[in-house]
Structure 1
Amino acid sequence: MTSIKVGVDIGGTFTDFVFLESQGNRSFGKTLTTYPDPSDGFINGLEENLQKFEYRYEDIDTIIHGTTLVVNALIERKGAKTALITTEGFRDQLEIATESRYDLYDLFVDNPLPLVPRELRYTVKERMLNDGTVLEPLDETGVKETFRRLREDGVEAVAVCFLHSYRNMAHETRVREIAEEVAPELYISLSGEVSPEIREYPRTSTTVANVFVQPLVQRYLSNLETALQARGFSGNFLMMLSGGGTCTVETAMRFPIRILESGPVGGTIAGAYYSERSRLGQLLVFDMGGTTAKASLVDDGKPLTTNEFEVGRAERFMKGSGMPVKVPVVEMIEIGAGGGSIAHVNRLGLLKVGPESAGSNPGPASYDLGGTRPTVTDADLILGYLNPDYFLGGDMPLNKKRAYAAIEKEVAKPLGLDVVEAAWGIHEVVNENMASASRIHAVEKGKDIRDYPLFASGGAGPVHISHVAEILGVETVLLPVGAGVNSAFGFLAAPLAFDFVRSFYGRLKTLEWNDVTALYEEMEQEGKVLLAQAGVTEEIETLRYAEMKYAGQTHEIAVPIPAGALTVQSIPEVMANFKMEYAKRYAEANEDMVIEALNWRVVVRGPEPHIYLRASENQATAAASPKAHRDVYFRAYKSFQQTPVYERSTLAPGTAFQGPAIVEERESTLVVNPGFLLKVDELSNLWMTKEGAHG
């Protein structure tokens, strides 16, 4: 009996499937995402592909799932009716926020509205000091009265966030116990569990967001589990975490905010996997799907991560204009549009692309599903990059006439251009925007983007990767097999893992190190229990970090902390680690300033999945033969050029040829610009190198 693992990624336009056999064979599937219930596309697409590849549900050992369900629910505010219970006197913390303006000189900035309106924010008498001691006991009578009012208001979910509960959550725990007695039907999230770290506003915002989406996520995942089990699936069903690990469905239902970016993160994890396999320490992952495009950096074979994120920004690239959530997340930047992003001419007569997307319903005009507005996909079709008869391997023909009409009406005529010029304008605007955002993202990290080969991911990524590389001055591009479903493959390369945090402030030289050791041991034990629930009891790795800064600074950096019991003798090693990390970011560290620690973090994870990809022993002995030729528009010629079209599955390892060329596979299409040399390696990955590049 064949044993397979399945990755399922639900995006805004397509739902992607990767089937990985233990022997290393891979199969790929892609179907349109279904609305309003994306689980329909999940189940239907899974069944279709199981039949297609002659698998059974009983063959599936593990399913790992990633989805944009949480982030979309927060952006669209389609969660539960949610209330907040907080300490008396702190009712308006969600609106006061940090009292800062994300744009200092704009008098009309719009801060995001809180998920909980003021009339659903309740306070109770209680007070905890910042060292965890009780100043004022919890008013349990007031809590019971509050829950009575919540039930009258028809509230479905409640966030509980008391002052300094990150040090002592006894009062929050008691509120939940009371809720179980008087209002057991309510969903309850406690800040001491969801985000047990200092800084009141982000902690409250994160807890509110968690419980806001919890009913939606629990219904969605419970229905999926039931549907899978009814069809004979009895393996592990895991969810992708935003931080790059995986967790059980039960954990995801308890902390749904942790799967906020579970879909997009898969592309970065896949990039890290191929980085190690290809002996590339650095990569810029360029992931362009049907709805958005994102960029992320891989350094030393590992994705960059952060512990804070913003959702629903009022200004797309303006930090501070969104709703903060304090969860571990692979660091990504949304860098532009996806294949379904709509092109339009604004009131100033300028061509704009996105952020609005046609999605899968009604889709781009060329999908012939009811969409009438021009999109990036329509422009790529007009320019000859896409084959109208081979989209999704021919399962979904594209209507070139509808694409032409849509671009002509809404872009070409308003700008006084012919349709080809308008299509090229759409394509070029997207590429320039994505290259510019990628460059800024790298500079913010102190990186020179020219040192980072590009890694193409997503259904639209390979179409645009050559042009983006040229704009950035990057000389090497890597395209893996199945790039169009790469995020789903990345899920299969991620280990079971979970992150924990505790706040405990102190200066290094005066810290109570026994207390710090106890915090680490508590978090590590909690992590081992979670992994044991998922069946992992061996080869468990624990990584320790602390968030530290110089006294007087307001931002911390993550610093590795040694294992074992921590004592005064640990201080020199911790200080050296801090100065090394600080110098990496800011060129040099200060030898005399006092160092402070604020948060202590642990990552507990199981073994890395062993993915065996079979290398081909056959090397090409003859030149590759194109399956066809077609007219394709290239900037280098400023016109259409008869261009060879290759079927990717026929390109044996060792094959090499010069651009211009088109390489087609079912899930994506690679455009090889003039001036690039394409080679196929032993794993059938495609490498594009700019002529004259070193190496």
Structure 2
Amino acid sequence: MGEGGVLRVGVDIGGTFTDLAILDDEGILAIGKTLTTPRDPAQAVHTVLRRALADHRLDPARVGLVVHGTTLVTNALIERRGARTALITTEGFRDVVEMGREHRYELYDLNLRLPRPLAARHLRFGVRERLLADGTVQTPLDAGQVERLAGELAAAGVEAVAVCFLHSHLDDRHERRAREIIKAAAPGLRVALSSEVNPEIREYERASTTLANVYVQGLVEDYLDDLRGRLRGLGVPVDPLVMLSHGGLATVDVAKRFPIRMLESGPAGGALGAVAFGRTGGRPDQMSFDMGGTTAKLCVIERHRPLVTHAFEVDRVYRLRAGSGLPVRAPVIDMIEIGTGGGSLARVNALGLITTGPDSAGAEPGPVCYGRGGERCTVTDADAVLGYLDPERFGGGEVKLDVAAAAEAIREQIAGRLGVGLAEAAWGIHACANESMANAARVHAIERGQDPARLPLFTSGGNGPLHGPGVAAALGSPALVVPPAAGVLSALGFLSAPMSIDVVRSRHELLDELAPEDAERLFASLEREGAEVLTGSGLAAKEVRYERSMEMRFVGQGSEIEVPVPAAGPDWRAELAESFHRQYARRFGDVAPTGVAVEALTWRVTASGPAPTARLRFDGGSGTGDALLDHREAYFPDGGYRPTPVYDRYRLAEGAELTGPALVQERESTLVLPPGAHCRVARDGGIVVTL
């Protein structure tokens, strides 16, 4: 099997499962899933890849591309498993990272807890130097003070240092000189400069981002070296590429330098997979819904592109409360994370209502039905009791589900407390999870100027097809789309991403005073910087393309919006003003102030290589008759348990049609088709459901 052609491998390490997909020139060749090994994540990658290569008799020497996404950076920040880190900043500004924006994210909570900085106060130091807001030097850097401090930090066991001087995004000479001094005095210290990690305005966010980057850098370097060695041990001849949070790829060396850009690398794959199938299915606008074992992620796709933001929070005190986490400035696909996944714990709250999440059973111990020591019932336990999951074939048979144990947990923890039957309690958990995700999706879409009732819902993840129909029905979506290998779509999506890097600089300019030739020089310098990274990663200069944007606002406003920059020309400034007003109206409606000047603050270039020509599909069977496996008792609220046909997803041919109730089962996920729903297999292998 698979005797010719180059193999492309995508691997996604999630909170519960590690997913794998292997493609050749014709489409999907092999997929795999194994439980994540949190203490040694590279072990799960090694296990699932070795098994897939062996099971499908594939030669590892034929692997020409390995793309990898991981939750390692996010988990290290949440669990505080990074290096002992110090902050060196301008004298008088050591407490910026603790003061933050002085914003109470929960106004009336008297016991409010604020995010804890990655550098404790006794490891934050101010040194004599001062750069003014116009870029001129008021106080030269005190080199002797930096040298003494570096020696003291090394002697105290500090492993990493973040350097963030005031206004260094305008002039980085003091930061670069400080690094030279630190490296000479204490060569063992790892040093990160804010002018390289995040050369943008706003000292708090810049310092927080630089701290986070150097805090996890050692872990990421060790992990990527370990992963590279394990791949070599399997006979894979290429180094892995790393998925970045904004949907582009980077080499191992770039990822080591900027690990903070890997924060949301896993979820990015689901959005990229949605884009790839949207192109083949003619859906330029849709909503990507990825539900895994720990969380669900939602992302709006516009004109075949996921929305991207440049601000993110990590390690929130309250998981879903904006403002309660550490701010990070890095390009990331704009998605909302919902604390609902298959492992989300279910309970009855003080009002006598069923709630799910945000806490999760994760991979260890996992849901009760996994038989790994879990005692509290979860969403997956409810789905097993409802008959939606095959106890013998779950996860390709790797996990045998103990449905009786799940039923007992739900009976004791939910049904008994509410005085209802087991089926009603399990359905309540399932429906509660759906409604929670639909509410979040509705708000997310509306805040971005989209009507969720007009967007098809593209669902993926191990639990996406299970809950997608309920979420789509609650949103009023015109259709639900379930791709092939939905349970490992993030791994597939990785293989549709180009090499890419985002280069940014902050420079304040009034639009009326901005000379087009000055703008062209600045953008050209950013493009050269991006090209250096990509050509150093093996791309030819002629393959690199650039996309320019600026973050702009009306004078007097406190935040900006990202604006596409038109091509150079005689009317460039007028076209840029028009682009800004168009984006402003799209975001906020017809409320733009009149007679107010416009200013630019941040300049951005995305440099990227050509997109791969991956075919994210597989060939199905001959029809619905061959695909029918058996019947299983499954629960639906309008008629209780009933014998429900179970179909093998891999045997459904293009054009095959089904009417619910039905269960469409593949190795990593199961589509629950409710009574009255209709579905059809499209040309790209996706199942399009009409509710």
Q: TM-score, normalised by structure 1?
A: 0.96
Pairwise CA distance, 1:425:
1.5
Q: Does 1:632 align with 2:615?
A: no
Deviations 1:623-645 (A, max 9, x none): 666221111111233x1122111
- Greater Cα shift, 45-54 or 157-166: 45-54
Q: What SS is found at the alignment partner of 1:545?
A: strand
Alignment of 1:84-103 (within 5 A): 84-103=87-106
Partner of 1:386: 389
Separation in structure 1 between the aligned mates of residue 616 and residue 271 of structure 2, nearest angstrom: 18
The one-letter code sitting in structure 1 at the alignment partner of 2:630 is: A
Q: Cα–Cα, structure 1 residues 397 and 603, in superposed 2: closer, same or farther, change >3 Å?
A: same
Letter of the 2:557 counterpart: Q
Q: Do the aligned residues in 2 keep the contact of 1:619 with 1:654 (CA within 8 Å)?
A: no
* Cross-structure match for 1:546: 550
Partner Cα separation in structure 2 for residue 571 and residue 491 of structure 1: 37
Could you say which residue in structure 2 is the equivalent of 1:184? 187
Counterparts in 2 of 1:121 and 1:616: CA distance versus 1, 3 Å: closer
Q: Write the mapping of 1:227-626 to structure 2, written as runs, cut at 5 A.
A: 227-537=230-540, 538-564=542-568, 569-588=571-590, 589-590=592-593, 592-612=595-615, 620=623, 626=628
What residue number does 1:122 align with? 125
Deviation at residue 55 of structure 1 after TM alignment: 1.4
Q: How does 1:75-224 map to 2 (within 5 A)?
A: 75-224=78-227
- For the residue of structure 1 that corresponds to 2:82, the secondary structure is coil
Matched, 1:654 2:658: no
Shift of 1:102: 1.7
- C-alpha deviation, 1:318, in angstroms: 2.4
Residues 27 and 605 of structure 1: CA distance in aligned 2, closer, same or farther (over 3 Å): same
- Aligned 8 A contact 1:147 1:179 in 2: yes
The separation in 2 between residues aligned to 1:240 and 1:64, in whole angstroms, is: 7
- The one-letter amino acid of 1:127's match is R
CA contact (8 A) 1:645 1:662 kept: yes
Q: Does 1:679 align with 2:683?
A: no
What is the letter of the counterpart of residue 673 of structure 1? P
Is the Cα contact below 8 Å between 1:8 and 1:15 reproduced in 2? yes
Once the two structures are overlaid, the 10-residue window that deviates more, 157-166 or 232-241, is: 232-241
Measure, in 1, the Cα distance between the counterparts of 2:603 and 2:637. Answer: 52
Distance in 2 between the 1:25 and 1:455 partners?
19
Q: Which amino acid aligns with 1:152?
A: A
Aligned counterparts of 2:505 and 2:140: Cα–Cα separation in 1: 23
Does the 8 A contact of 1:2 with 1:59 survive in 2?
yes
The amino acid across from 1:166 in the alignment is: H
The runs of at least 4 consecutive aligned structure 1 residues that moved more than 4 Å come to 613-620, 622-625
Specify whether residues 201 and 27 from structure 1 end up closer, same or farther in structure 2 by C-alpha distance, changes over 3 A only. same
Other-structure match for 1:24: 27
Matched, 1:663 2:667: no
Deviation digits for residues 285-340 of structure 1, max 9, x if unmatched?
A: 11000111111111111001101011122233322121110000001101231111
Alignment check: 8 A CA contact 1:550 1:595 kept: yes
Shift, 1:404, TM fit: 1.4
- How far apart are residue 59 of structure 1 and its match? 1.1
Q: Which amino acid letter does the alignment assign opposite residue 80 of structure 1?
A: A
Counterpart residue type for residue 635 of structure 1 = P
**SS at 2:265's partner residue?**
coil
Native 8 Å contact 1:615 1:682 kept in 2: no
For structure 1, the 5+ residue unaligned runs are 691-695
Distance in 1 (CA, whole Å) between partners of 2:589 and 2:398 is: 53
Distance 1:473 1:3 in 2: 42
- Maintained 8 Å contact 1:495/1:605: yes
For residues 640 and 418 of structure 1, what CA distance do their matches in structure 2 show? 13
Contact 1:285 1:456 in 2 (8 A): yes
What is the alpha-carbon distance in structure 1 between the residues aligned to residue 391 and residue 618 of structure 2? Answer: 32
Distance (whole Å) between structure 2 residues aligned to residue 312 and residue 617 of structure 1: 43
How far off is 1:226 after superposition?
1.9
Which shows bigger deviation, 446-455 or 625-634? Answer: 625-634
**Which stretch of the first structure deviates more once superposed, 355-364 or 587-596?**
587-596
CA-to-aligned-CA distance 1:223-242 (integer Å, 9 cap, x gap): 11122223322224100000
- Give the letter for the 1:553 counterpart: Q
1:642 is matched with: 643
Q: Which runs of 5+ in 2 are unaligned?
A: none
Q: CA deviation at 1:57?
A: 2.1
Aligned-pair distance for 1:40? Answer: 0.8
* 2:582 alignment partner, SS class: helix
Report the 3-state secondary structure (helix = DSSP H, G, I; strand = E; otherwise coil) of the residue aligned with 2:420.
coil
Aligned counterpart in structure 2 of residue 71 of structure 1, from 74, 88, 102: 74
Mapped to 1, the partners of 2:57 and 2:179 lie a distance apart of 49
Which residue does the alignment assign to 2:689? 688
What residue identity is the alignment partner of 1:659?
A: G
AA at the equivalent of 2:584: Y
**Structure 1 residues 101-140: Cα deviation after superposition (integer angstroms, max 9, x where no partner):** 2233333322111111100001100011122221111000
SS in 1 for 2:543: coil
Q: Deviations over 1:475-533 (max 9, x none)?
A: 30111100000000010011100101101101111125444333211211111111112
Match of 1:693 in 2: none
Bigger Cα displacement from structure 2, 411-420 vs 9-18:
411-420
Query: What percent identity do the matched residue pairs reach?
Result: 48
Is residue 2:24 matched to residue 1:10?
no
User: Deviation string for 1:428-462 (max 9, x for gaps)?
Assistant: 11111001011011111121100110111000010
Determine helix, strand or coil for the equivalent of 2:27: coil
Deviation of residue 342 (structure 1)?
A: 1.5
Query: Which stretch of structure 1 is more off in the superposition, 154-163 or 413-422?
Result: 413-422
Query: Which range moves more in the overlay, 358-367 or 490-499?
Result: 358-367
- Which deviations, in whole Å up to 9, do the C-alpha atoms of 1:35-70 show, x marking residues without a partner? 311111111211111111111221110110000111
What secondary structure does 2:432 align onto?
Answer: helix
Does the 8 A contact of 1:336 with 1:433 survive in 2?
Answer: no
Paired position in structure 2 for 1:59: 62
Conserved 8 A contact 1:624-1:655: no
CA-CA distance at 1:208 after TM superposition: 0.6
Is the Cα contact below 8 Å between 1:617 and 1:682 reproduced in 2? Answer: no
Query: What is the letter of the counterpart of residue 586 of structure 2?
Result: K
